[in-house]
Amino acid sequence: VERELVQWLERTLPPHPLLRLGIGDDAAILRWAGDGDVVVTTDAITDHVDFRLAAVSPEQIGHKALGVNLSDLAAMAAEPVAAVVSLVLPRRGALELAQGLYRGMLPLAEEFGVAIAGGDTNVWDGPLAISVTAIGRTTSRGALTRGGARPGDSVLVTGALGGSILGRHLAVEPRVREALLLHRQYELTAGMDISDGLALDASRLAAASHCGIALELDVMPISADAERLAQTSGRTPLAHALGDGEDFELLLTAPPDAAAAMAREQPLDVPITLIGQVVDQPGLWSLRAGGSGLAPLEPTGFQH
Amino acid sequence: VERELVQWLERTLPPHPLLRLGIGDDAAILRWAGDGDVVVTTDAITDHVDFRLAAVSPEQIGHKALGVNLSDLAAMAAEPVAAVVSLVLPRRGALELAQGLYRGMLPLAEEFGVAIAGGDTNVWDGPLAISVTAIGRTTSRGALTRGGARPGDSVLVTGALGGSILGRHLAVEPRVREALLLHRQYELTAGMDISDGLALDASRLAAASHCGIALELDVMPISADAERLAQTSGRTPLAHALGDGEDFELLLTAPPDAAAAMAREQPLDVPITLIGQVVDQPGLWSLRAGGSGLAPLEPTGFQH
């Protein structure tokens, strides 16, 4: 539904003089003379889809609701400023639930300097849904978008991928500081956060940049969670790393020199790994280390 | 729940250097050097509470979802800039429903120059919920808040009140142009939109301004809907005008000279009526026309 709706919206929504970037990236950008453009993103999470209220704490849910939105600001290399929170609460125990959700957001808001600026609270006979809208601003380097990758660029990823269902999907660590540091110190050409799976998200970044991406499967940083999950899932650790989603790591492209410098200098607290190249041929490809030819790679991931 | 939660949040949320005005008004204000501060508000509407999906069209629901948020920007006398939309859709017919919702928003967005900047679309087994976040900017006159009324000010209201359940509660006409015009041409001291009932909302404005409001019940502008509803409801037209809510008219305070000028000049396409005074005594009061004493008035309205 979301993909079809986004395509319909891209055809249907009129342009607007203040809208520098609209639907289709991780966040929208509004022109705003002065302190930087306004970057805005919204993401809702719902019971039984993104978490199970019966199985996790309200604090964990609140953390995730804000975290996924800050991850979208990180994807744009925007500085977080504020968030507004819209709660739709089941009637029973609504106040305690709402307080738990906010308690989960507050430490993350404090860590990233985000003002919880407002909210709306609704009670109904349905399940829990939380929608957060995060507002950031671009730095003097401008925003990082999905559309700037060029053939010949290198592809990089932060952290290690796969198996987030074992816990990281709730304990989102938005890569805000990492994105801002890299965007300030190196030349980046495109970026996004990995929310639906590396393979699917890389294919989206490639499409937005009107080119292709070839991944070197032999060098993929695979998380210990993916290894652990593979022991029982019947899938390989690599398959988990490529397709699991909710890693909330950064997928970046950069000119080869800048990418090599990042990989060599390792300027972050998390690893940053060269995982492939931007190529002329549209689509997603695999590239054996040292090998030459490209083989088609399925864009596995979480389709909404 | 909402009132208790807001009180808890006011105690709990830390201050933030960029947050000029946080939770408790119609919208939040973020300091933003340049083109004016950023004004942001979020409001969700849900099936069976704010509308009945089975009884109204998706277009009507979309119109209302955006309209109530633009009304909150009007309440701050902010210029609308953009909106982001978070949909939580029942699985069956989700795409068509989503398109209908957006189709309902688009004419309103165009009328008020609002960019639909982004969105998030979720599908689940629960009922429909729509959360919209609207972003505006302050004009050179700054924002209009609830907190600036002073004893001696006059109280004004746009339009006519009561009986919105007969249709106006869906066909929200946000008073954006009216608020901007009045804020530019006259001195206003405080304002808000009437969403939960004049009496309740007036008591809130009074509390935010640390004073009281006395309403002249004999001069209240009562809508034809309120008269019609009173024929079967067992309540008076005045009771409907005071307590029904979802009028989405503007409640304003101004120094007596400015208020008299507004009432005399009638600069809007809708009537603007003098309905009372700001007084020293905290609380809500009634004031008979020409009379002297104040009698307590119950702050009737929609309590979430």
Residues A68, A221: Cα–Cα separation, whole Å: 21
Given a cut of 80, whether residue B219 has pLDDT beyond it is: yes
At A185 the three-state DSSP class reads: helix
Residues B61, B74: Cα–Cα separation, whole Å: 20
Separation in Å, CA B248 to CA A47, A202, B176, B199: 32, 45, 11, 14
pLDDT for A229-250, tens place per residue? Answer: 999 999 999 999 999 999 999 9
Q: Is the pTM of this model over 0.90?
A: yes
Q: What is the DSSP letter of A144?
A: -
Determine, for residues A22 and B116 on separate chains, whether the beta-carbon distance falls below 8 Å.
Answer: yes
Complex ipTM more than 0.85, yes or no:
yes
Q: Which pair of tokens denotes residue A259?
A: 């990418």
What is the chain B residue with the closest CA to A21? B117
Determine, for residues A16 and B113 on separate chains, whether the beta-carbon distance falls below 8 Å.
Answer: yes
Q: Regarding beta strands B78-90 and B115-124, do their DSSP bridges make them parallel or antiparallel, or are they unpaired? A: parallel
The size of the A-B interface in CB pairs under 8 A is 232
At A210 the three-state DSSP class reads: coil
Residue A34: predicted pLDDT: 77
Residues in chain A, overall count: 304
Residue B13: predicted pLDDT: 93
**Do the beta carbons of residue B124 and residue A48 sit within 8 Å?**
yes
> Which residues of chain B make contact with A35, given a CB cutoff of 8 A?
32-34
Determine, for residues A95 and B133 on separate chains, whether the beta-carbon distance falls below 8 Å.
Answer: no
Residue A267: predicted pLDDT: 98
Residue B289: predicted pLDDT: 63
**Do the beta carbons of residue A207 and residue A268 sit within 8 Å?**
no
Residues B109, A85: Cα–Cα separation, whole Å: 22
Given a cut of 90, whether residue A131 has pLDDT beyond it is: yes
Given a cut of 90, whether residue B143 has pLDDT beyond it is: yes
Mean pLDDT of chain B: 95
Amino acid identity, position A271 = P
Given a cut of 90, whether residue A24 has pLDDT beyond it is: no
Q: Regarding beta strands A28-30 and A38-46, do their DSSP bridges make them parallel or antiparallel, or are they unpaired? A: antiparallel
C-alpha distance from B183 to closest chain A C-alpha (Å): 22
- pLDDT-derived band at B1, boundaries 50, 70, 90: confident
Residues B48, B54: Cα–Cα separation, whole Å: 9
Q: What mean pLDDT comes out for the span A23-32?
A: 92
Determine, for residues B117 and A32 on separate chains, whether the beta-carbon distance falls below 8 Å.
Answer: no
Quickly count: other Cβ atoms within 10 Å of residue B94's Cβ.
Answer: 21
What is the chain A residue with the closest CA to B84? A42
- pLDDT-derived band at A272, boundaries 50, 70, 90: very high
Q: Which pair of tokens denotes residue B26?
A: 């119609």
**Do the beta carbons of residue B286 and residue B213 sit within 8 Å?**
no
Residue B35: predicted pLDDT: 76
- Out of A27-41, B98-112, B207-221, B240-254, which region has the weakest mean confidence (pLDDT)? A27-41
**Closest-CA residue to A303 (of A250, A248, A247, A245):** A245
Amino acid identity, position A77 = A
Given a cut of 90, whether residue A289 has pLDDT beyond it is: no
Residue B16: predicted pLDDT: 93
- pLDDT-derived band at B304, boundaries 50, 70, 90: low
C-alpha distance from B289 to closest chain A C-alpha (Å): 37
pLDDT higher at A258 or A1 = A258
Given a cut of 80, whether residue B211 has pLDDT beyond it is: yes
Determine, for residues B33 and A30 on separate chains, whether the beta-carbon distance falls below 8 Å.
Answer: no
Strands (E), chain A: 19-21, 28-30, 38-46, 78-90, 115-124, 129-138, 154-158, 190-193, 212-215, 250-254, 272-279, 283-287, 294-296
> Which residues of chain A make contact with B72, given a CB cutoff of 8 A?
none
**Is the four-CA dihedral A99, A177, A275, A192 of positive or negative sign?**
positive
Determine, for residues A23 and B133 on separate chains, whether the beta-carbon distance falls below 8 Å.
Answer: no
Nearest by CB to residue B40, choosing from A43, A44, A84, is: A84
**Do the beta carbons of residue A284 and residue A149 sit within 8 Å?**
no
Residue percentage of chain B with pLDDT more than 90: 93
Report which secondary-structure segment, H or E, holds A228.
Answer: helix A224-233
Residues A36, A192: Cα–Cα separation, whole Å: 20
**Owner of token pair 């919105």:** B164
C-alpha distance from B53 to closest chain A C-alpha (Å): 14
pLDDT for A71-80, tens place per residue? Answer: 999 999 999 9
Given a cut of 90, whether residue A1 has pLDDT beyond it is: no
Quickly count: other Cβ atoms within 10 Å of residue A138's Cβ.
Answer: 21
Residues A270, A177: Cα–Cα separation, whole Å: 11
* DSSP of chain B: -HHHHHHHHHHHSPP-TTEEE-BTBSSEEE--TBT--EEEEEEEEEBTTTB-TTTS-HHHHHHHHHHHHHHHHHHTTEEEEEEEEEEEEESTTHHHHHHHHHHHHHHHHHHTT-EEEEEEEEEESS--EEEEEEEEEE-TT----GGG--TT-EEEEES-BS-GGGTTTTS----HHHHHHHHHHS---EEEE-SS-HHHHHHHHHHHTTSEEEE-GGG--B-HHHHHHHHHHSS-HHHHHHH------EEEEE-HHHHHHHHHH--SSS-EEEEEEEESSSEEEEE-TT---EEE----S---
Strand partners of residue A134 = A41, A83
What angle do helix axes B58-75 and B94-111 make, rounded to 10 degrees? 40
- Out of A2-11, A150-159, A203-212, B90-99, which region has the weakest mean confidence (pLDDT)? A2-11
> Which residues of chain B make contact with A38, given a CB cutoff of 8 A?
32, 38, 135
